[in-house]
């Protein structure tokens, strides 16, 4: 049995995780976490989410959790993820972080925390997306120098960051395949009359509309043919399922920063390495 804590349990992904944990016999919800001072603190989780069987108490502080926590899953906002990671480090609780929109400094902070606890950090927990990342890296390695490369993504109208974390990760996969520095080839702001494509750049386009769960395409346009590698998520449950898979895996690891490729064994499959930091 793996004891699970879920940060920001009332959010979009938090609720998906509540339902996913509730359906899995090998997992136990011990800490559905709320923001500090939330009016629901102390109430059973199934009093606010009637379709959940668990009666674990909603809490607004890790110190109020009565059972040991094997792993904490965080899909929140960058500033809250950092605070939560610091608390987990103090308590030696492994983490899964699916939050996106981190600044460079915030990412470095999490890397520092990962010296003390195991952390899986990925902008997308979907098995399909993480296989897509490896396919994109391989394609860039093989034909990237002969292609105009574009990353196109679409999400629901409420998503706050743009481009999405997954789109950025796709761009990084392209850069890895090309053997180049991502920041030197990424093009985010082509507009106006002087927006001719820069040779060797990777362009990004973002759509925000309706209730699109998440769609990502990497386009490799050569002189006489094109390759599109596309992933479409139809339900957020796919992200929850991936996060739980990561949670069980990371609860058994030593300190370090990992990604979903490590969880799924994709690094060993493609290149015989892992991404532990």
Measured in degrees and rounded to the nearest 5, phi and psi for residue 19 equal -65, -40
d(CA 9, CA 113): 23
Long-range Cβ contacts of 197-201 (<8 Å, 24+ apart): 197/148, 201/149
Query: What is the separation of C-alpha 134 from the centre of its chain, rounded to a whole number of angstroms?
Result: 15
CA atoms of 32 and 25, how far apart (whole Å): 17
Nearest of 213, 135, 211 to residue 169 by alpha carbon: 135
Q: Which residues are catalytic?
A: 155, 159
Strands 214-221 and 226-233, how do they pair? antiparallel
**45 and 29 Cβ atoms separated by less than 8 Å:** yes
Does an H or E element contain 7, and which?
Answer: strand 2-7
Helices (H), 144-276: 165-178, 182-185, 237-250, 260-264, 266-270
3-state secondary structure of 60: coil
190 burial via Cβ count (<10 Å: 0-12, 13-18, 19+): middle
């Amino acid at each position: 049995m793996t004891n699970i804590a879920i940060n920001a349990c009332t959010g979009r992904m938090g609720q998906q995780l509540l339902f996913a944990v509730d359906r899995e016999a090998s997992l136990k919800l011990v800490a559905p976490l709320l923001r500090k001072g939330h009016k629901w603190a102390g109430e059973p989780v199934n009093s606010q989410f009637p379709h959940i069987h668990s009666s674990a108490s909603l809490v607004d502080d890790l110190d109020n959790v009565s059972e040991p926590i094997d792993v904490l899953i965080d899909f929140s906002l960058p500033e809250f993820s950092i605070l939560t990671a610091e608390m987990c480090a103090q308590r030696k609780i492994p983490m899964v972080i699916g939050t996106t929109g981190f600044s460079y400094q915030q990412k470095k902070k999490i890397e520092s925390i990962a010296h003390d606890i195991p952390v899986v950090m990925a902008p997308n927990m979907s098995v399909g997306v993480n296989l897509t990342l490896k396919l994109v890296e391989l394609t860039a390695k093989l034909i990237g120098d002969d292609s105009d490369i574009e990353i196109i993504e679409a999400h629901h109208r409420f998503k706050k960051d743009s481009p999405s974390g997954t789109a950025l990760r796709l761009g990084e996969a392209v850069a890895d395949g090309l053997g180049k520095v991502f920041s030197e080839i990424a093009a985010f702001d082509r507009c106006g009359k002087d927006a001719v494509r820069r040779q060797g750049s990777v362009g990004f386009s973002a759509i925000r509309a309706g209730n699109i769960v998440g769609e990502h395409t990497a386009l490799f346009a050569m002189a006489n043919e094109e390759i599109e590698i596309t992933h479409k998520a139809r339900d957020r449950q796919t992200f929850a399922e991936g996060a739980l898979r990561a949670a069980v895996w990371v609860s058994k690891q030593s300190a370090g920063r990992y990604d979903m490729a490590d969880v799924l064994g994709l690094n060993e499959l493609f290149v015989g390495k892992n991404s532990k930091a």
